[in-house]
Amino acid sequence: MNAQTPDNPSPSLSSGSPLDPFDIIGSSLAVQQAWLREPERLAASLQGLALEAHRVHDHFARSSLGIPSEPAIPAVIHDQRFQDPAWIDHPGFTYLKEIYLLYGRWLEDTIYTTEGIEPTRRRRAAFWVRQWLDAIAPTNFFWTNPEALRRAIASHGYSILWGLQHWLRDASAGEVVRMVEPDAFQLGRDLATTPGRVVLRNELLELIQYAPSTDRVRAMPIVLVPPWINKYYIMDLSPANSLVRYLIDRGFTVFATSWKNPGPESRAMTLEDYLLRGVRPALEAARAIGGVPRVHAAGYCLGGTALAMLLAWFAAGTDDDRAANPGAHWSALTTLVDFSDPGEIGAFLSESSFEFLKQRMDRAGYLDGANMANAFRLLRPNNLIWHYVIHSYLYGEELPPSDVLFWNCDTTRMPAAMHEFYLRELYLNNRLVQGNLDIGGRRLDLGAITQPLYAVGAEQDHIAPWQQTFRLCGLIGGPARYVLATSGHILGIINPPVTPPKRRYWVGDVTGPCDAAAWRESTEKASGSWWEDWVGWLRERCGPLEPPPPLGNSQYPPLEAAPGRYVLEK
């Protein structure tokens, strides 16, 4: 991660304290000290705050007397916390809401306009203060949540009892707050149900080949490479949301990698192992079973980053290596290769936080997936934490089944050596895009990748910002087509066509350097799912229709039925 230096940096508390590895206290104190050095600006800001507070008090007084007046501090229209009519109609709740919004917005705006500290620390301070502000929202407490009070009265207090039972359940399980019941779905019965066979298994992954559903299929297989920080069945959720089933039903032969959930015995597994002993054998097996010289490879999130590195690795070899490249063309879904701006997850990334995580991984041999899952929840706390606190604890509601949330909670571990290299060399040092990353004795150059690319970003993605995923198209040496889907990191990708259409997307060719904002401004927005556009792109490149290949062959015999055994490991 490339830290920018302000024109007049001021001395501040070190962000490398072992007692504060994520720079929570240090960044906040740095902001405070910067403002104390500018008393005139601080006084002007406080004066503006006092004037706004007077407007809130005036609105409260008028509304209490029944005198109509405009809201002093209206909530954002999409803020789900304040949709209840009581937050507008009841003077007390209106006052509480406006005081909370006033001071919260002032505090965030003040942090973002702080001068004299590094921008990375300023953003980090804003991130952690926002966590606190979201936590103390009046909607998160029983006596200041009008709907919670209403339900308690209507249920004669039972909603309080149910909520307490839910809290005790989560506390006994050691969970932050549960989003979905752990037995809401069963793999192979409800999720990951597309028929297929495991045709390859090694110490890193299983490769699943799916059974065809059509009499004829495209000659070139598709190999799906999901990230190893999650289970593979994000690609094969319930039948209505299954990308695997969608492709099969449209005449494609589909393979998918299912990564092993590593334990301490895998502590020495490296990123090089994942590429050359994981992704590469999977592509070669699909090529051999399909009886074709090359395949289409599609990577999701880190899976796309792995494909970019592997294709660059082949390109950096000899003529024979380049000829042996099993990838004819590829797709990269919400994929980062330039980590200079990793989005909100950058709040967790610094040398001190890296050393903290490294020590934990050295002791355990891995990073527990629950740690990653909790960090990702902090990126969207109102949706992924406090929503469930309100509905489960304050309202006493049962958790609704959700295939996406079930998958999201089904975490995996990351081997210490691999994750240490990944965090340091990609996120912190950003060496891949700089062209000075070595894998397997070869220097990787993204510009040497000439295979056509279909890239997808998501407009509200907080893990892989779409402007950064867009950059991939200009960094490679081949032609590219880019899709910007509405929604976020998961729902922007798991986006099956429905009638009437729920979502929209921008799509167009992007070959060579191009400005992301200018591209979106000049590109017409289409209605529906980008899956349909992708299938059209694939049909042009995956060859003619022919009888489907068998499930496995003599070199890669079928081992067991999908979803296999690795996905079941806890």
Active site amino acids: 301
Given a contact cutoff of 8 angstroms between Cβ atoms, the answer to whether 188 and 563 are in contact is yes
Total length of the chain: 570
The whole-angstrom separation of Cα 139 and Cα 104 is 14
Give the C-alpha distances (Å, rounded to integers) separating 188 from 50, 123, 198: 60, 43, 13
**What is the side-by-side order of every strand in the sheet holding 222-225?**
525-527, 504-509, 480-485, 453-458, 327-333, 295-300, 222-225, 254-259, 205-210, 196-201, 560-561
d(CA 564, CA 114): 53
Tokens linked to 173? 């399980």
Residue 390 CA, distance from chain mean position = 23
Q: How far lies 21's CA from each of 5, 12, 496, 510, in Å?
A: 21, 15, 41, 40
Q: Which residues contact 544 (CB under 8 A, 6 or more apart)?
A: 218, 219
CB under 8 Å to 78, separation ≥6 — which residues?
none
3-class DSSP assignment, residue 283: helix
Rounded to whole angstroms, the Cα distance separating 412 from 419 reads: 12
CA 567 to chain centre: 20
Can you tell me the distance from the alpha carbon of 462 to that of 254, in angstroms, rounded to the nearest whole number? 29
What count of other Cβ atoms lies within 10 Å of the Cβ of residue 394? 23
What is the rounded CA–CA span in Å between residue 350 and residue 106? 27
Residue the block writes with tokens 């006084």 = 43
Q: Which residues pair with 30 in a beta bridge?
A: none
Three-state SS for 78? coil
In DSSP terms, which residues pair with 257 in a beta bridge?
207
The tokens of 56 are what?
Answer: 């809130």
Query: Which residue in 283, 132, 267 sits closest to 205, CA to CA?
Result: 283
Q: How far apart are CA 518 and CA 203, in angstroms?
A: 45
CA distances from 155 to 141, 306, 368, 396, 397 (A): 18, 53, 40, 10, 12
**What is the rounded distance in angstroms from the CA atom of residue 465 to the CA atom of residue 468?**
5
DSSP string, 349-402: -SHHHHHHHHHHHHHHSEE-HHHHHHHHHHHSHIIIIIHHIIIIIIS-PPPPP-
Q: What is the DSSP letter of 464?
A: S
